[in-house]
Structure 1
Amino acid sequence: MAIEYSGITREGLSKQIADAIRDAIVDGRLMVDERLPSETELAERFGVSRPTVREALKRLAAQNLIRTQRGPTGGAFVNRLSWSEAHDALVTTSTLLIGMNEIPIEAAIEARFALEAACVPFAAERRTDDHLAVLRAEAAAQRGDALTDDPLTDEAFCASDVRFHRALVEAADNPVLSFQMAGVIEAMQPLMNMLTYRMRDRTRIADLHAALADALAARDTDAALAALTALGDYTRDLARARRAG
């Protein structure tokens, strides 16, 4: 069993034990579906009580790193994390970090558009008619908003904005990029919308979205990147204006 049992001090024992097991899982020293030693064995090896080990295992279970099974062949096992669970964990972590002001808004904007720009060449090559239909429908809804007497609510416009960019990322058809973008689209982007919605020009955003959709339809990577860059520059301008005001 490749767990580091040494180096445990007397303070915060359960957290230290959880961290030691977590490191073994993350480093690949504990494999998926591998059974951990029993509570009694762990307590002996770490030199702590069983309740302390039990608390450490609860911490790991809360992070979806392990699962427990009852019965003669039961125990604690390294969990097989699903894509949906990993996605939810990433979104939750990103939301908490941004909400606690651990990530400056300028850094979030920079990361968002850098990552999204990485998706554009693949989206231009791999987009389908279904992807284009979503992109154009959202841009049209945002554009039409400026021409009607019954405009979208701020929440509805923000939701449309998120759907547009999610469709762009999905058009890239790369599961790794989609995963990395989950925290950006589901956490960072809503925050940017919340911070700038009172100052933004909806028509300008909708026009840039439409230009981006048209460029992807034409498989024109340069034009798509130009539209995305203009959108990023505008978002940064809004963030600076809000900070100054």
Structure 2
Amino acid sequence: MEFQNLKITDKGRIRYITINREAKLNALNKATLTELHNAFSDAFADPETGGIIITGAGPKAFVAGADISEFAGLDVAGGTALSRTGHTEVFNLIANGGKPVIAAINGFALGGGLELAMACHIRIAAENAKMGLPEVTLGLVPGYGGTQRLTQLVGKGKALEMILTADMITAADALQYGLVTHVVTADELLPKAEEILNKILTRAPLALAAAIRCVNDADTYGINGYETEITEFGKCFGTKDFKEGVAAFLEKRKADFKGE
């Protein structure tokens, strides 16, 4: 599939999705969101892809926000539809994907850009990165899951402070708050993301997908995450990967998982 706003590259079992609108600081317009839906759907369905790293083109921005010019003519119904479509087609798609997704935050991650990073399973940042949700300066609130995921990641008090002040935070702050798990130099950012993902990809693929479902259900209203864990734990016993993992452990060798 050809993309106008994304660059897709494969490195072994890692699929790189790079938002390639450097002149616009990789802002998320409707076309880019549509391409992200297609790119992630393809990556999750591709049996050769084990995990995904998403980043932004150039040294300045991961994603500096949404394309505000597209908001100007919207009314209540239009704004509601925009948010709902974004949730369903992109942000929830990523969060609920069965393959690990790492956001490599290489610069500004603001508004929809930070929401995109928060939808990913793991976030690492370059030391020059800046993050924030400035929507209230436009008379808006975060509309792509930002109020919910930021609260889950950093707690209610810090989430409210960040959202209500609209202030940007540094990568060091983000690490302290638990918003990212690692901060490295710009040159080390992608190698660090690959290091983490390659380690993950030595593990059993079906178990990885099950673990993502379990952790997500810990924060899903109306769902008992403990029950999800019990169910997923039991289902793992029916996989060939479980039998291989146990055999490898008992035989003191490296497991050869097939995702079966």
Provide the TM-score with structure 2 as the length reference.
Answer: 0.25
Provide the TM-score with structure 1 as the length reference.
Answer: 0.26
Q: Which has the higher contact order (CA 8 A, sep 6+)?
A: 1
More strand by share: 2
More helix by share: 1
- Greater C-alpha radius of gyration: 1
